[in-house]
Amino acid sequence: MKLNIMTRYFIAAGLLTCAGNAFALEAWSGQESGDTIEVIFDSKVYSNRWYVKADNCPQTASADNWDNPWTYVRNATPAEISAYGNPTTCDSGSITPVNYDAFSTDNNYVSGDIVSYGDVNYQAKSAVPAYSFTPGAENPWQLYTSVPVWNATQVYNKGDVAQFDGQSYEALFYTVGDNPSLTANQNPTGTNGRPWKPLGPTVEYSAAELNAAPQFSATALYEAGTLVQFQGQPYVSQAKVKSVSPVDKNPWAIYTDWTGTKERVGTPKNPWPAHVYAPYVDFTLNSIPDLATLAKEQNITHFTMAFVVAKSGEQCIPTWGTAYNLQDYAQYSKVKALREAGGDVMVSIGGANNSPLAAACKNDADLQKHYYDIVDNLNLNVLDFDIEGTWVADHESIQRRNRVVKATQDQWNKEGRKVGIWYTLPILPTGLTPDGVYVLENARDAGVQLAGVNVMTMDYGNAICQSAGTEGQNIHGTCATSAIDNLFKQLKKIWPAKSDKEINAMMGTTPMIGYNDVQGEVFYQSDAKLVMEDAQKRELGMIGIWSIARDKPGVPGQVSPEHSGMTPAQAPQYAYSHIFSPFTSAGEEAVTGVYKSRKNNQCLDIQYGKMRDGDRLMTYACTGRPNQILTFSGINQQLVIGDTQKCLDVQNGHNEEGVAVISYSCHNASDKNPNQGWLWENNTFRSLMKGEQRCMTVGNDGFVKISTCKENDPAQEFEIYHPAK
């Protein structure tokens, strides 16, 4: 819709009705919005006067430029630039590859040369003579084996080759009884769903020809289709080749310029929690919420960013949803701000759409470099692989992924680096499908060390999970907990040496909140409470949701990427996250004991030692008496005092500076009373109340209150007290 000049004038002059002028601030990244937003660009803050599109860059904004909706508001402060980022160019992070010289087979290259081949950039790790290796390709010599004649009763799997009437064919997937010579069964481009790819005339060699084949020479130039002998085996050249033996490795490696990425994403301050609520973020949406604000105001501190996929099925280039570069995506300013606020992200590779890297990258070394570089340059502690759709049944990519994840883990182990690996899989109320079980069994056999298995408790397509119009009956929630029950049994069979506690800790559940893609399946708030209770009881490793952008009401009954389809009465904004967010627990060794303040070397104690409701927490000479002993209740995240049923509480539940910490009767679950929820991290006790992050703080009078969390503040730091012997 176009706005006429007068309407634009009234908007610019502020004469039309509008909301208040306090808008969430973020770095410009090609946002599209009809709402008023504020962005930072080139050290200035801009606000939109009307609907802003992705290609509207603030760089060309001015009061007189009515073709650009952005208008200058003020200069950005240094603190804002540090928190949100400061883009200075109009590149919003879309795919814009650097133009390197195209690879040519007849050129010689030296170590360090960078070339472009198939829209992918490669760097030579050693000298590459002409007619030797093509970037991303296998060795140009292929071991010769006779091609068997097609048999109507034989089972053929992906990669098997058979001949019929002098023509060869490659099976693209499982097939039996499908005659490859029939056009109806042929799939030349791999796009029509038929099983056989024609390879051309079959090349056969007689025993005499094999015996007469010349010995391989490193100095000879061979044309494609040349037969040679090498170490007693026959090989056939697949291209014009020189200076390459059949056992040489390709010196070309995938090249990505990650300069500045580490700084763009920031560094996490804390380890990834042992028990975490990490809702998925569709990181390609225009309406990505401000993650730091969610951490500070909603206590949602960890997120799973989705999805990293290949640029295309034939291009081994990692991207965000095929649309944005991984190394310079402008939305990274939100990740950096979140990490500055104490939170963190996990990146998910895969998803239901597009091609996973494990399918597009045919070369193990290229894939391993991508996995390593993604973790290294995005400063990740945890990496997720979302394996669904047709890819959960694609054995070739499954095996390659597991093989390469193991190799990457070996590389991290040599460096002393710990990176948690999660696999996310589809599930039914009865458990994983046989395909899902195969993924995990193959991972186990390959030596992959999994931190966890997250399952998508959604879109079951099962009649027993039809739940529309059944709010409060917990039908969808029961399907989710049944799925976890059966997943537990399956994981025990795959890893029998693990204890029940270890199996529970490596399970995760991710429902699709509100209306699911499968018609008739709805996940209500009551379902969320059931899932939360089950997760707390089992002490699961993870709860997620699809997705954080959907955690708000919208058009009733509609399935949307930007709302749940629930009414405001059924599920107001962040209703599901309010249920799940108390699940996050650092899992640190906050052991039962007496805690001493680093401010005054006195121990936490209850005033008067009577532990009545409302008595204040204070510091006192360390004695080890019961009223000084704190027990951290784990998943419930409460601090129990002595052997009583009293917990540390924030007076009147007010998240305000200077409010007293008191003893009060323990509640059953911290989500019902978040002022009793505490997170032990970096020797501090942080309140889990929504809003500003506040920590227990020892005042000059010795009494304990909550105040804004600070780094390296002795008044907020505690340690276990060990009495002198």
Q: Which tokens belong to 239? A: 């291209």
Cα 330 to Cα 332: distance, rounded to the nearest angstrom: 5
For the question of residue 314 being annotated catalytic, the response is no
> At residue 327, what is the residue type?
Q
Query: Hey, is 382 helix, strand or coil?
Result: strand
Does the bond joining 307 to the residue before it have cis omega, within 30 degrees of 0? yes
308 Cβ neighbours under 8 A, 6+ residues apart? 318, 319, 320, 326, 347, 348, 349, 350, 357, 374
Q: Which residue carries 């270890």 as its tokens?
A: 502
Q: Which tokens belong to 295? A: 């951490």
Q: Which tokens belong to 37? A: 């937003």
Strand-pairing partners, residue 563, are 560
Q: What count of residues does the chain have?
A: 725
DSSP state of 701: T
**Cβ atoms of residues 24 and 47 within 8 Å:** no
Cα 594 to Cα 629: distance, rounded to the nearest angstrom: 5
Beta-sheet pairing, 25-27 with 38-41: parallel
Q: Which tokens belong to 494? A: 């795959």
Query: What beta strand segments (E) does 405-513 contain?
Result: 420-426, 452-457, 507-511
Nearest in space to 694 (alpha carbons), one of 656, 663, 664, 653: 656
The separation between the first and the last C-alpha atoms of the chain, rounded to the nearest angstrom, is 79
Catalytic residue among 170, 388, 521, 717: 388
Cα 52 to Cα 613: distance, rounded to the nearest angstrom: 54
Q: Which residue carries 């701000």 as its tokens?
A: 337
**What is the CA angle 457-462-466, rounded to 5?**
85
Element (H, E) at 117: strand 114-117
Q: Which tokens belong to 156? A: 């053929």
Cα 101 to Cα 670: distance, rounded to the nearest angstrom: 60
Cα 209 to Cα 207: distance, rounded to the nearest angstrom: 5
Strand-pairing partners, residue 384, are 348, 422
Q: Which tokens belong to 389? A: 């759709």
Query: What beta strand segments (E) does 490-637 contain?
Result: 507-511, 514-515, 522-523, 542-543, 593-597, 603-606, 617-620, 629-632
Strand-pairing partners, residue 253, are 123
DSSP character string of 600-624: TS-EEEEGGG---TTPBEEEE----
Nearest in space to 355 (alpha carbons), one of 409, 314, 326: 314
Q: How far is CA 154 from CA 149, 176, 190, 200, 394, in A?
A: 11, 6, 22, 21, 20
Cα 385 to Cα 395: distance, rounded to the nearest angstrom: 15
- Would you name the residues annotated as active-site residues? 388
